[in-house]
Chains A and B, each alone.
Chain A
Amino acid sequence: MSATSQPSGLPILATDAHVNYIQSLDTKKDELDYWLTEHLRINGLYWGLTALHLLNRPDALPRQETIDFVLSCQHDNGGFGAAPGHDAHMLSTVSAVQILAMADGFDDLEAKGKGKQQVGNYIANLQNRETGTFSGDEWGEEDTRFLYGALNALSLLGLLSLADVDKAVSYVVSCTNHDGGYGVRPGAESHSGQIFTCVATLAIAQRLDLVDKEKLGRWLSERQVPCGGLNGRPEKQEDVCYSWWVLSSLKIIDLVHWIDREALIRFILSCQDKESGGISDRPNNRVDVWHTCFGLAGLSLLGYPDMETVDPVYCMPKPVIKRILG
């Protein structure tokens, strides 16, 4: 076995460098970016922790501190803000639930936080009972991302019954496009990110029968460009994050074999910084935790050796989902 490739001939994943990179994220407080991304702090923690789990290093972040930080972001209404003192929002609440699930912290949520039920109520109250959609917060911004996030978190909490799932499903169906994809609202262009949120929502609702799998799979597989990477929409540039949005959608409808697996693995690995760790959108660009998480999740879905298996619907380690959902 050479130093630059796996026995399978695939390039090496710089696991230790990635672990170090993620561990160092919270120590970069002297950088402006750290403060400008404060509104994403808890999401960042979810991305980092997921990446560590997939690298089989779940203990690389201190567990109790992680749980305590998450609980310090919770409001009386049950929702979570992005950081202590930030308003509660759907997306940060979903990240909080996902982190607590990974860190096995639901007991802490009951004992020291406001409890599962309150979180579930917060999320369920954001549903528009007429259209089925969810808004991100009390201000009513509606987006299929929120709808997916809501069903994701509610199902992890075992409280899916609090939402009107049928209404949510029919909204997702109304976002279908002629090309087989889904957009952010009825009539909006198909976009891989939105497709993931819609298809994963249907998976949680156990309504994948509503997906035209062949048509969607065809559009999704068309996202692979000659360099091996995937783009998000026709005639757009490839980007590592679509290794997740496109690939997980293909996985959910069971059609991953419609793309060139090895070419995509090579593309993702060409975007890693082997010395300092982290993955970027395209080769030689600046790394960030977001692309790192989704690049690793993509590799895991493609069955890269020695990685934890990722669940395509939840973007979390499969054993965690199994522990929680049974």
Chain B
Amino acid sequence: MAPKSKASSKAAPIPESKAEPPPETVGERSTQRFYKTNILQKRCEEAGLAALTPAEKKTYSHAQLIIPVSQDRVPLSTKAEREYWKQVSKENLPIRRLRRNYDWGHDRQGRQLDTYRLAEFEERSLKQARLAALDIVHRRFLAKRDKARKEGSELPAEDVAEEKSTRAAMAVLRKELYGKITGPLAQDPKWDDVVPIPQAEPEDALARIAYPDDYAEAVSYLRAVMATEELSERCLRLTQLVINMNPAHYTVWLYRFRIVKALELPILDEIEWLNRVALQNLKNYQIWHHRQLLLDYYLPSISSDPVSVKKLAKSETDFISRILEEDTKNYHVWSYRQYLVGKLELWTPAELGAAQNMIEDDVRNNSAWSHRFFVVFSNPREATPGSLPTATDLKVSTATIDRELAYAKEKIALAPQNQSSWNYLRGVLVKSGRDFTTLDEFTEQFVSGLGEESEDVKSSHALDLLAEIYKAKGDKEKAKLCLERLAAKWDPVREGYWKYQIAELEK
């Protein structure tokens, strides 16, 4: 029931106060409406109670008094109630009036809705209406799908695609209106049967708001499908989604391998995909373990076909070369390469050449030197199988030993202060069983005028080796001088080590 006409015989009509400007915000409009239904309130506030006529005063105070009754805060007997309504009607009291300070609530940013401009508010209401309409469409889809499934069929792809766009639109609206995030998986009808398992974290509002949404959603679906051990096409895509966001998540890799096996996916396709991931994540080692699992699984199926094995070796080494261009000393890649050489028996000139190319590019690449040593001295056709890298192996031919010594010497001449090439030289010498003293002439060329004013040392490693050579030859004095000069000038950071060697000398 609308409030009755303001014109009443008892309550004198009030002259319109100066015309109000139209409201701009929701709050202003509410205030204006409040005064429109509380006619005397404004005059009383502006001019004071004393300025009202006696009739107005009576109406005003009666109007205040009826509030507790109209709000049912004061229970009346039936008779009193009848009297009460009679009076209200007679006085034409404004009983159906608006209350002050209506709470419109706030939006997702915490902004009070009554500060919204009217046009903004209308836009918001329209969005709410659109969301409600989309929700009806969405529910219709669910009902249709249920019905179809009961009849043993699935809805056509167009329907599913349409539902997807409905949900996408709903997600946008929900986010805009309420700040609720609907991730891409929740928007995809193909995932409707999975109830995601979010990470159990303490109830902490801050943490929940700031959780990276898409990642959190993907991982919570991952937990759900792993719990039911589902191995399907969509799970494969889900693992890709998680890996793209966080390739260090080791569990997802293992799960992916299980899916690849269960679905009998072409291994070469998986490797192809893996190449792209590897190039984007150079420091990740799960990728290389996954690759090794794939290879171990795949090889038996082609081992009787030498052409396929050769092709695989070629594509693998090509890719390794490609990735080593990006990161020449990557430990995971090199260690995979050693696995590959053993597995595919790549004790070949090409493999040796690959390591050599890397050394030519950067003579200080210790990984490449190390690989060369492996390819030469672990080759079962040339070396004693199982011979440790630290052990002499007389099975290795003189020609090979000479070739490797010459190679190391050539590279030392290029960069005398390079640890890698000196270490290699020593390693080859141990393998050969030859005496260190055979290197005296070569080594001496990097040192001149030791202990004299003209002292010139092109390599502390040479000086170090010379100390050993002199010691082996029994020339303690010369050996001691080398060690003293190392401690004093050419490698003082390792003073402790050189002092130890000097003490050993004097034993």
Interface set of A (CB-CB < 8 Å, partner B): 29-32, 35-39, 83-87, 89, 136-137, 139-141, 173-174, 176-180, 183-191, 212, 215, 217-219, 221-222, 224-226, 228, 233-236, 255, 257-260, 263
Contact = CB atoms under 8 A, between A and B. Distances in A.
Nearest to B332: A184
Given A139-B254, A221-B497, A176 B210 contact: no
Given A35-B211, A39-B249, A218-B497, A178 B430 contact: yes
Contacts of B420: 234-235
A181 B197 CA distance: 46
B216 A35 contact: yes
B50 interface: no
A246 B456 CA distance: 31
15 contacts: A35-B211, A36-B215, A84-B199, A89-B250, A137-B254, A173-B388, A176-B388, A177-B370, A179-B423, A184-B331, A185-B339, A187-B374, A221-B497, A222-B494, A258-B496
A31 B251 CA distance: 22
Contacts, number: 148
Interface in B227-260: 245-246, 248-251, 254, 257
B367 interface: yes
Nearest to B220: A85
Given A188-B370, A235-B419, A178 B390 contact: yes
B370 A190 contact: yes
A173 B388 CA distance: 8
Interface of B: 197, 199-201, 204, 206-207, 209-212, 215-216, 223, 245-246, 248-251, 254, 257, 289, 293, 329, 331, 334-335, 338-339, 341-342, 364-367, 370-371, 373-374, 377-378, 388-390, 418-420, 423, 426-427, 430-431, 492-497, 500
A78 B103 CA distance: 56
B426 A263 contact: no
B427 A188 contact: no
A224 B215 contact: no
Nearest to B388: A176
Contact of B366 (A85, A139, A221, A234): A234
Given A185-B338, A189-B331, A260-B495, A176 B215 contact: no
Contact of B493 (A32, A87, A226, A255): A226
Contacts of B492: 260
A29 B201 contact: yes
B293 A139 contact: yes
A184 B335 contact: yes
Contacts of B206: 29-30
B212 A32 contact: yes
A259 B495 CA distance: 7
A48 to B, nearest CB: 18
A176 B494 contact: no
A178 B426 contact: yes
A174 B493 CA distance: 31
A73 to B, nearest CB: 12
B497 A185 contact: no
A189 B370 contact: yes
Contact of A233 (B212, B246, B251, B366): B366
Contacts of B495: 260
Contacts of B212: 32, 35
Contact of B199 (A38, A179, A258): A38
A143 B204 CA distance: 38
Given A179-B423, A188-B335, A189-B371, A86 B493 contact: no
Contact of A178 (B204, B250, B423): B423
Nearest to A222: B419
A259 B200 contact: no
A225 to B, nearest CB: 8
Contacts of A184: 331, 335
Given A29-B207, A188-B331, A221-B494, 18 more contacts: A35-B216, A36-B245, A86-B251, A139-B257, A140-B293, A141-B289, A177-B370, A177-B389, A178-B373, A178-B389, A184-B335, A190-B370, A235-B419, A236-B329, A257-B500, A258-B497, A260-B492, A263-B493
Nearest to B207: A29
Contacts of A212: 390
A32 B219 CA distance: 14
Contacts of A219: 423
B505 to A, nearest CB: 13
Contacts of A189: 331, 334-335, 366-367, 370-371
A192 to B, nearest CB: 11
A188 B338 contact: yes
B345 to A, nearest CB: 13
Contact of A30 (B210, B366, B426): B210
Given A178-B373, A235-B419, A30 B335 contact: no
The 10 closest A-B pairs by CB, nearest first: A178-B427, A30-B210, A189-B370, A29-B207, A258-B497, A187-B374, A235-B364, A178-B389, A234-B419, A257-B496
B494 A224 contact: yes
Nearest to A263: B493
Contacts of B370: 177, 183, 188-190
A188 B336 CA distance: 9
Contacts of A177: 370, 373, 389-390, 427
Contact of B388 (A29, A139, A174, A183): A174
Nearest to B335: A188
B342 to A, nearest CB: 7
A37 B423 CA distance: 38
Given A36-B248, A187-B378, A235-B418, A84 B200 contact: yes
Nearest to A232: B331
A303 B169 CA distance: 63
B1 to A, nearest CB: 53
Contacts of A180: 390
Contacts of A234: 364, 366, 419-420, 423
Given A85-B199, A235-B419, A39 B210 contact: no
A258 to B, nearest CB: 4
A29 B201 CA distance: 10
Most buried by A among B206, B207, B365: B207
B119 to A, nearest CB: 35
A186 B341 CA distance: 12
Nearest to A36: B246
A7 to B, nearest CB: 24
A29 to B, nearest CB: 4
Contact of A259 (B197, B201, B493): B493
Contacts of A87: 251, 254
Most buried by B among A36, A180, A184, A234: A234
B251 A39 contact: yes
Nearest to B251: A87
A154 B375 CA distance: 36
Nearest to A220: B497
Contacts of A186: 378
Contacts of B389: 176-178, 187
Contacts of B388: 173-174, 176
A232 to B, nearest CB: 9
Contacts of A221: 494, 496-497
A101 B112 CA distance: 54
